Structure 1
């Protein structure tokens, strides 16, 4: 492997590792923070510390989805178009299955699966299926579809959509879901938090950006394109936010003081990811990539370890956090009768449970530090067994 290729892969792993580390903060907060404020991002009621604890994690999902698209393009360079297309479709369906089974169990600790979570892995999985189909046609097809979905899906905000029935559910699942309950039977419900196609647009454009990470690509040209695109998205976010008429389902409103105005200005829609949200988060991510290609140092090496095995880390951190939650749950005097609350999908997380943000941050740092050794081991184990076809799915 050439030096340039190595640098490219490492830069992707570093950024992905950073967002994986930050992502764990949000999930630690879900499990361990004593909820007093219902919505951490409500500018009228939140605290600044709580707001930015939640807001900083907004960068994780869009950056991860974008990098997934880039990785799909790079992986396809070693395969024929039909083989690469089929692999994306199969891996996408496998990820959907993992979301429904392994991820849902890790988050809820409810073996009856009375509530099935459809979140980011679900959206990534179906996005890969779409990418697999479109990439079989042509690169330009992927690019055009990505641009339409990325910049145009908020046009649906002004359109009358089906108000009930199966059509209503399908529109929400595909385009507009903030949270859509989908009844399966009398005892089981699926909760869709991630509308598929807005995330698909991000993945498709990530795939197209992968073109600039080819072995023969000009590094300086790549850096300029990433920097200009990232800066342009940030400017687009600011302009659209001030115009306040397109790119987000709800316009922002002035608050009681300037500080609260800033919080409202930054509070864009993640569910579904609006154009303003995507521009706000992906813009800085691209700028970071532009200047991260030749970064060195201990922190970069550490971040790249997490980023090299993202799915392994993703699964492991949920199970570790939830096992720790069970230990604290019983150690604090709670009983099995309190393990499942009708107000929460998280097992062993009663309504009166939780700690302040300093404790949450401590648990987060402990969790991330503890996962370093397993991730480093798995990355080395996986690298030594590249001939095992099934490892490409993990």
Structure 2
């Protein structure tokens, strides 16, 4: 159970990142950007995210650019979501919200549609809604880890959600609490029926803890309606509690949160390098140690128990705080450097 929950809690990250990116896009309008400027920024930043995912992030996972294989991961889908948001930015905010809700609530109707059934356009369905491998160029394989739907709807909904941050604080806090709790209640009710909202039904197990794990174990690739209800519901409640908290105690989180892209890129490299150091210390130089670490064959004894994993996590988080704090000060000191806006 601790191992399951350790992995499960990380599921909140991707929906929250994409949802907050939509909120940030809306708030940039309130900081003085015109819709034309925001549209151009979203297009450029979206393309930049896609490029990063297929190059810099690909290298961070494999330490090998020679392989004719790549994965379309979280930066890919954030970038595509930004491009989609740029395409609908001139629509009324209520229409953008409706598009987001429709994509989130309705996409599970198409769970049984498979790319193989669609012949020559199967690759398009894979990009939109099915986690699978495609070959866009002869000899080059691309694994669609994050299909676009409903992620593009999550960013669109986040953009519309940004209107809450124009409200008076007390009213906003009330709505954050009500919306977050309502999403969790909706999750429980819909999940209990086992009729719609997730391709993987839950089942009663031999004991209550295992039944509970089955109940909250929802489909991520692509994220089901129920997956998004529970993760975004928790994220919105977290926003509520953080806004009510004393800001002085949140400074470390603020430092990390102010550099999300920089943090993401650095953290993969830092974790991968740490894994290599531990592997070298235990096994020496082996075929899996460097470019194929974590992908191909590994010894059965590879890895550590959870207490050690948590200690390593705390150490890496502390190092990331130091690095992000330095980068934040560097950005503040060099505001004139335009390229810093893309990190």
Give the TM-score, by structure 1 length.
0.81
Higher mean C-alpha displacement, 367-376 vs 318-327: 318-327
Structure 1: give runs of 5+ residues left out of the alignment: 1-47
Once the two structures are superposed, what CA deviation does each residue of 1:202-245 show, in whole Å capped at 9, x if it has no partner? 1111111111213xx31122112211111111011001111111
Flag the 1:138–1:374 CA change in 2: closer, same or farther, 3 A: same
Q: Is the 8 A contact 1:99 1:122 kept in 2?
A: yes
Q: Distance in 1 between matches of 2:135 and 2:87?
A: 29
Flag the 1:72–1:351 CA change in 2: closer, same or farther, 3 A: farther
User: Do residues 142 (structure 1) and 99 (structure 2) align?
Assistant: no
- Displacement after TM superposition at 1:145 (Å): 1.0
Q: Is the 8 A contact 1:135 1:141 kept in 2?
A: no
Q: Distance in 2 between matches of 1:336 and 1:170?
A: 39
1:390 aligned partner: 339
Match of 1:80 among 34, 59, 81: 34
2:110 aligned partner: 156
Higher mean C-alpha displacement, 301-310 vs 378-387: 378-387
Once the two structures are superposed, what CA deviation does each residue of 1:178-209 show, in whole Å capped at 9, x if it has no partner? xx112255653221111112111111111111
Q: Is the 8 A contact 1:143 1:204 kept in 2?
A: yes
Q: Distance in 1 between matches of 2:91 and 2:149?
A: 18
- Displacement after TM superposition at 1:328 (Å): 2.1
User: Do residues 363 (structure 1) and 312 (structure 2) align?
Assistant: yes
Q: Distance in 2 between matches of 1:338 and 1:389?
A: 40
1:310 aligned partner: 260
Q: Distance in 2 between matches of 1:115 and 1:391?
A: 29
Match of 2:298 among 321, 325, 350: 350
Give the TM-score, by structure 2 length.
0.92
Match of 2:242 among 251, 268, 292: 292
2:182 aligned partner: 232
Q: Is the 8 A contact 1:340 1:350 kept in 2?
A: no
User: Do residues 71 (structure 1) and 14 (structure 2) align?
Assistant: no
Flag the 1:364–1:325 CA change in 2: closer, same or farther, 3 A: same
- Displacement after TM superposition at 1:299 (Å): 4.2
1:12 aligned partner: none
1:37 aligned partner: none
Once the two structures are superposed, what CA deviation does each residue of 1:156-182 show, in whole Å capped at 9, x if it has no partner? 1255765254422221221232xx112
1:61 aligned partner: 14
Q: Distance in 2 between matches of 1:291 and 1:51?
A: 25
1:266 aligned partner: 216
Per the alignment, in what secondary structure is the counterpart of residue 145 of structure 1? helix
1:252 aligned partner: 202
User: Do residues 117 (structure 1) and 67 (structure 2) align?
Assistant: no
Flag the 1:186–1:158 CA change in 2: closer, same or farther, 3 A: closer
Q: Is the 8 A contact 1:105 1:113 kept in 2?
A: no
Match of 2:126 among 169, 172, 185: 172
Root mean square deviation of aligned Cα: 2.1
